[in-house]
Amino acid sequence: MGACSTRSTRLGNRLHTFKRPSILPGFWPAFGYTAIYLSLIVLVPLSAIFFKTATSSWEHIWTVVTSPQVVASYRLSFGASLAAGGVSVAVGFLVAWVLVRYEFPGKALVDALVDLPFALPTAVAGIALTSLYTENGWIGQYLAPLGIKVAFTPLGVIVALTFIGLPFVIRSVQPVLADADQELEEAASSLGATRWQIFTLVIFPLIRPALLTGFALAFARALGEYGSVIFIAGNLPMKTEITPLLIVTKLEQYDYAGATAIAAALLITSFILLLGINVLQRRTRKFLEPA
Amino acid sequence: MSIEVDHIRKTYGTFEALQDVSLRIESGELVALLGPSGSGKTTLLRIIAGLDVPDSGTIRLNDEDATNSKARDRQVGFVFQHYALFRHLTVFENVAFGLRLRPKATRPSEEDIRGRVRKLLELIQLDWLGDRYPNQLSGGQRQRVALARALAVEPRVLLLDEPFGALDAKVRKELRRWLRRLHDELHVASVFVTHDQEEALEVADRVAIMNHGRIEQVGTPIEVYDNPASAFVYQFLGDVNLFHGRPEAAEAAAATIGYVRPYELDVARHSGATNGAVVASIRHIASAGPVVRLELMREDNGSSLDAEISRDRYRELALSVGDKVEVTPRNLRTFPSAHIS
């Protein structure tokens, strides 16, 4: 009887409405609020970008978004953001692993430090990183003899963006790692798995969705980052100009349509990339779906 | 393959989980480690599997010292109480896991792996669930998958940690009989941990009763049940009534405690005469089930007694709550160290 009635109500629901019976009330207020919030805070401002862009001619838009300087900035912005996201995933996973798996004095302090990049004004971070990595800075003076220049190069941009993106990965991975049952590793080990196999075949698949989430967040944040990057990048045209900087430059020249055109190009591309990551993430989470 | 546990000790901080435990399990034997929680039975199982390291003592597998060998080299199948299935893998891939991760030289061909997994899934009667994920299965199904996964690597020893602990009573009963049949087909040494004495006595060839990090007694179910070595073993294997030393029993010291099972009490209507029997009144009668359980209160010292009588006897006596009865223990046991811990 139970199965039969569930099936018929489910079917009925699919036919009439997408609301499902639930213990907690408040579907419509919650859903309505979500829709209004998304519209007012996200969709309306974003669509304003496209409306503003549309005030200009297609020809103007096209010349702006494909001008060599802007294209070079796309390359830097997307390249550096992807690289920073990648580095954040590797380093962030390591930090999360240490924070979850090991006990050491000062652990609570380290845990709190992780969030600091969230709170720090990004310009402060940018200035601090720049002074550290210039040729006579604390770290830069040791890298210079090796021929590695960080400040005022694309590498500097990656460093700044990693600094900003790292907490996203750590905070995404940490709870999932903490939830991963140690018995799984023991089970794998008694089945004959080496440590490396335990990591690649058991632990990694479990945290892969969280790593992808962290990567998407870090990448998205890095793409829009402005404050910390402009100091360490040096902003050399065609070399170390990030796209957000060009948008600000256009604004300062009162070329609003040009600025929004670049913003629109940036938005569309990052939306496609994030959508791709989301689809990928959904695929890695297939095992969590009920029957 | 035999398992030999030789003078194993293990402490966690100040807690002595295992105090000098020795046990030998022959090939083909199914042994139950029975004891209350905290008695060290799971610790012992984990040490045999190589998941924990003993402080001192030796583990021998097939008469070879395995104390320092890693879990993955021991060829031990371990089944966890909470299954520990890989939830990102399908049932089929869970079972195939141990075969797939072998180095190329010893790994069976893909065809072989598929064949073996399919055979195992048939064995656990879940061949129709191969492409489901673990969180789409019921508890009993998950535990069977965990067992199949452990069996896939053809372990020399099968270790099960409270394998049926998280299942409901009916599934548990089914699965333990199934485990017994399976064990008889496999000819490995199996050890399973349980705190359910009924399960241990029904399934195991031998039962090791553990308490406070020691093995109190090892023997066949009949041996330990009929000749318990200590008061602890006696009370752990079944319900028990205590008779504190009675002055009229001349040879018994005042501190002696007699133990008797509820079904070893003869119950008769109180005749009025004091012929040495214990007089008690009935406080509660549970008459549903194969036997009738009487909850009695002794008239002389107010302590309570449980008695089990057959339904026929119950009808014959026509007892009701409040009636006075005479209780005579048929089989009163005493132990040297008479304290139940």
CA A273 vs. chain centroid, Å, equals: 11
Residue B255 confidence (pLDDT) above 70: no
Judged by a CB distance cut-off of 8 A, whether residue B92 touches chain A is no
Contacts of B82 in chain A (CB under 8 A): 181, 183
Size of interface A-B (CB pairs under 8 A): 79
Above 60 in pLDDT, residue A7? Answer: no
Mean pLDDT of A160-183: 92
The pLDDT assigned to B11 comes to: 92
C-alpha to C-alpha distance for B6 and B57, rounded to whole angstroms = 6
What is the distance in angstroms between the Cα of A207 and the nearest Cα belonging to chain B? 10
- Percent over 90 (pLDDT), chain A: 45
Rg for chain A, CA atoms, rounded: 24
**Does residue B251 register a pLDDT over 80?**
no
Tell me the three state secondary structure of residue A42. Answer: helix
Distance from CA of A289 to the nearest CA of B (A): 8
pLDDT in tens, A257-287: 889 999 999 989 889 988 998 888 888 777 7
pLDDT higher than threshold 90 for residue A166: yes
Buried/exposed B9-34: b ≥16 CB within 10 Å, e otherwise: ebeeeeebbbeebebebeeebbbbbb
| DSSP designation for B252 | S
B246 pLDDT band (50/70/90 cuts)?
A: low
Percent of chain B residues past pLDDT 90, beyond the cut: 43
The b/e string for A149-160 (b: 16+ C-beta within 10 A; e otherwise) is ebbbbbbbbbbb
Distances (CA, A) of B96 to A55, B53, B137, B178: 61, 28, 18, 22
Q: What is the mean pLDDT of residues B228-249?
A: 79
pLDDT value of residue A255: 87
Query: Chain centroid to CA B299: how far?
Result: 36
DSSP secondary structure letter of residue B279: E
Q: How many residues does chain A have?
A: 291
Tens digits of per-residue pLDDT, A51-75?
888 888 888 888 888 999 999 999 9
B247 pLDDT more than 70: no
Burial class (CB in 10 A: 0-12, 13-18, 19+), B86: buried
Report the alpha-carbon distance of residue A201 to residue A206 in Å, rounded. 9
Q: What is the pLDDT of residue A2?
A: 41
Contacts of B85 in chain A (CB under 8 A): 187
- pLDDT tens-digit profile of B182-235? 898 888 899 999 998 999 999 999 999 999 999 999 999 999 999 999 889 998
Q: How far apart are CA B221 and CA B338, in angstroms?
A: 22
Q: Does the pLDDT at position A153 exceed 70?
A: yes
pLDDT at A219: 93
Instruction: Give pLDDT tens digits for A193-246.
Output: 999 999 999 999 989 999 999 999 999 999 989 988 998 888 888 888 999 999
DSSP structure class, residue B51 = S
Q: Is B51 near chain A, with CB under 8 Å?
A: yes
Query: How far apart (Å, rounded) are the C-alpha atoms in residues A12 and A25?
Result: 19
Out of B71, B72, B84, name the one closest to residue A181 (CB). B84
Q: How confident is the model over A27-56, as pLDDT tens digits?
A: 888 889 999 998 888 889 888 888 888 888
Distance CA A127, CA A131 (A): 6
Q: In this predicted structure, what is the pLDDT of residue B252?
A: 47
pTM comes to 0.77
Least confident of A196-210, B273-287, B327-341: B327-341
Inter-residue contact B29 to B205 (CB < 8 Å): yes
Q: Domain residue spans in chain A?
A: 22-54, 58-288
Is B71 near chain A, with CB under 8 Å? yes
Which pLDDT value is given to residue A105?
Answer: 93
In sequence order, the 6+-apart residues with CB closer than 8 A to the CB of A177 are A96, A97, A100, A101, A203, A207, A210
Distance CA B24, CA B284 (A): 45
Cβ–Cβ gap A206/B88 under 8 Å: yes
Q: Chain A residues contacting B, CB < 8 Å?
A: 181, 183-184, 186-194, 197, 201-202, 205-206, 286-291
Q: How many residues does chain B have?
A: 341
The CA-atom distances, in angstroms, between B205 and each of A33, A270, B26, B236, B237 are 65, 66, 11, 18, 16
Q: Which fold has domain A58-288?
A: MetI-like fold (1.10.3720)
Mean pLDDT on B133-160: 91
pLDDT level of residue A3 (50, 70, 90 thresholds): very low
Asked whether the beta carbons of residue B101 and residue A197 sit closer than 8 angstroms, the reply is yes
Residues of chain A found within 8 Å of residue B97, distances taken between Cβ atoms: 188, 191, 193, 201
Q: Which of B70, B133, B153 faces A191 most closely, judged by CB atoms? A: B153
Rounded CA Rg of chain B = 25
Tokens of A46: 């974003």
Nearest-5° Cα angle at B162, B199 to B230: 55
SS3 track for A118-143: HHCCHHHHHHHHHHHHCCCCCCHHHH
Minimal-distance CA residue of chain A relative to B94: A188
Residue in this structure with the two tokens 């793409």, named with its chain if needed: A223
Give residue-wise pLDDT tens across range B103-132: 888 899 999 999 999 999 988 888 888 899
Predicted local confidence at residue A8, as pLDDT: 47
- Strand stretches in chain B, DSSP E: 3-12, 15-25, 30-34, 56-61, 64-65, 76-79, 157-161, 189-194, 206-211, 214-219, 241-244, 257-260, 265-269, 278-286, 291-298, 304-310, 324-329, 333-334
- Neighbour tally for A33: CB within 10 Å: 11
Contact A205, B87 (CB under 8 A): no
pLDDT at A6 (0 to 100): 46
Task: Give the mean model confidence (pLDDT) for residues B57-86.
Answer: 90
Q: Residue B84's closest chain A neighbor by CA?
A: A184
Partner-chain residue, chosen from A181, A192, A206, that has the shortest CB–CB distance to B101:
A192
How many other C-beta atoms lie within 10 A of the C-beta of residue A162? 24
Contact B87 A287 (CB under 8 A): yes
Does residue B235 contact residue B241 with C-beta atoms inside 8 Å? no
**Helix-helix angle A204-224:A256-284, to 10 degrees:** 180
pLDDT digits (tens, 9 = 90+) for B285-319: 998 888 999 999 988 888 888 999 999 988 888 88
| Structure-model confidence comparison of residues B256 and B261, the more confident one | B261
Query: A243-252 vs A68-101: helix axis angle to the nearest 10?
Result: 130
Q: Output the pLDDT for position B254.
A: 47
DSSP letters, B154-216, are --SEEEEESTTTTS-HHHHHHHHHHHHHHHHHH--EEEEEES-HHHHHHH-SEEEEEETTEEE
Its sign, for the CA torsion A262, A268, A269, A274, is positive
Task: Give the pLDDT of residue A53.
Answer: 84
From chain B, the residues in CB contact with A189 under 8 A are 51, 70-72
pLDDT at A149 over 90: no
Residue given tokens 């830097």 in the structure block:
A76
Mean pLDDT computed over every residue of chain B: 87
Shortest CA gap A188–chain B (Å): 8
- Distance of alpha carbon A209 from alpha carbon A288, whole angstroms: 11
Residue of B nearest to A188 (CA): B98
**Beta sheet of B157-161, edge-to-edge order:** B76-79, B157-161, B189-194, B30-34, B206-211, B214-219
Q: What was the pLDDT predicted at A27?
A: 83
Residue A183 confidence (pLDDT) above 60: yes
Q: Which residue has the higher pLDDT, A177 or A282?
A: A177
